[in-house]
Structure 1
Amino acid sequence: MPDAHDTASALPLPDEVDALVVGGGPAGSAAATWLGRYRRRTLLVDAGEPRNRWVEQVNGLPGLDPVPPEQLQEQLRRGLARYPHVTRVEARVTELTAESVGDCRFVATLDGGRRVATRRVVLATGVRDAFPDLRRFEEHYGADVFHCPSCEGFDARDKHVVVLGWGPHVPAFASELLDWASSVTIVTDGPTPQVSDEQLDACTRLGMAFVTDDPAEEFVGTRGDMQGVRLASGRVLPAGMAFFSIAHDADLSLAEALGCAADADGVLLVDDEAQTSVPGVFAAGDITPGMQLVAVAIGKGTVAGVACAKSLHGRETSPESPTAAPDTAPLEPPEAQERAS
């Protein structure tokens, strides 16, 4: 049975909220949790497409190590259900505009055409990975093929590892696995490798093999029991695990529509309190700079949620929320007031 705060059909959507959180993964759920703890009327819109939905387990979360992603998502949903001021809906935000409606600064349109006005926005829309074009990729992805050395490197210990990719960042990406793997072989599975001779020499010095003229075609073995990677020539590279890094693009369509600034790496610029270049718009998770780990995303979401809630101090809030605390800025030391201005 659906949770009372889980679907639009179970509970009518509010016309206006204090905060709209876009994205129901770890970052968005953490932000919504803390907005709920501050008793701010919050709508969490979750499209149900977390980046890690294909992996068998999420690693490195203290107290939950490892945990299947579906179990983690269920625990996140259960945690949100205790906060009566938070509504979670399974939907997609199709449009987000800077539009004044009463005391609200923004208006979101959900699929189906429903519009919700909001005073603040927290974007946690995540990243989309480009996948290698190999036979049996889907069979192995999430069990012994991954995109994150930090996340799954520990499970590659003492194994032969193949890394797929051709960009200039791939040698450094592959070198991360030297903490664990018994051998690392890079296969430029795609266009002409975009690496320098200096990088190739460095790979050799570090003991990493580099295959540039024989693209990968197929994973060998069964899910969870990879035996190797078959190349176009028929040669099979021994491999117990494989990693890939082709492209991972932050979903910034809503942020760009609002005019939020991004950096050269294609992620949103945020300050120490997770606010973007657009006042009232916060961001968290993989669309912001820094490590892309679930544990880090939860921390970033926490910062965004608390800062978002505090930004409403001394301002009008939703009729369905308790009155927010007064503006506390005059209580801050002069230097803090100057930084905030």
Structure 2
Amino acid sequence: MATTSRTALTLRHRCDPMRMKEPFRISGYLFEGIPAVIATLGDGQYEGRGEAAGVYYLNDDPAHMASEIERVRGAIEDGVDRRELQELLPAGGARNALDCAFWELESFQQQRPVWELAGVSPPRQLVTTFTLPAEDPAYLRARLPGFAHAKAIKLKLAGDLAADTARVETVRKARPDAWIGVDANQGFASDDLDALVAMLVAQRVSLLEQPLRRGDEQALAGWRSPIPVAADESILSLAELETLGHLFQVMNIKLDKCGGLTEALEIAALAKRMGMQVMVGNMAGSTLSTAPAFVVAQLCDLVDLDGPSSLANDPLAEKIYDDGMVMVPAEFWGHA
């Protein structure tokens, strides 16, 4: 019986501290940086790269990602392919870094752009949100002049309705023209929802992301919001979308959560079939992590890819943002 030949690969990975320009506060966390693992796969002629920050609220940190990558090193270097990788590792940062490295390597091997391999349209410049932290109104007022370019703003909430109301009012007063969405990062209880949404409607907020804790999603059953509610922490994977997607109107896809571009594309397709809007985001990260997410963005209704703009050490960030929009050139990642 004939056997399928495999191409031996070389695997390298390293950690990058990914320091932020300044500390960034969300509900329950203060980030000074979001360290990432960068994986490289080579076949002797071409190399592919993938970057992953993991999932902080699941303790999927660089040490865990590195351990998971080492666990499958033998299989990777023996020549498993990207599809086999989906069975080798669960969703999470390690699989994301390796999956994206496979995509770029395949792009070079086949001399075709990643977007073409993925079956999406050629990349075009897209409006992205730019994110403000869950800080007090005085801090936000001081920061808002730097967001004059933003067409869309995402404001982090802290789970305190009075304080969050002041935050939202501050941003809306300064930017009456902007699309505004808020991200609660699991900060509220179900009893808060009606008052929270009434405030958001009054301030012309267009999206409420992840108001409840992961695991409390059933509290949304039968509740009707006048603005779309997005799932982030609640839905990590394709399997969770199948069981919980009906409780939300928007699916926020993050490659670190679902384990790479391969599953992200499947999630986007399923969410659309379910009648949901599709959003793409990232866990901060550099331009390298944004490049595969930008492929997914070509399928999305909402784009939240401002991660590189918050980093202190990404020299490419200034080149991919212009007039509130993001554009990652195809030649940056993979064959152009």
TM-score normalised by L of structure 1: 0.24
TM-score normalised by L of structure 2: 0.25
Structure number with higher strand proportion: 1
The structure with the largest alpha-carbon Rg is: 1
Structure number with higher helix proportion: 2
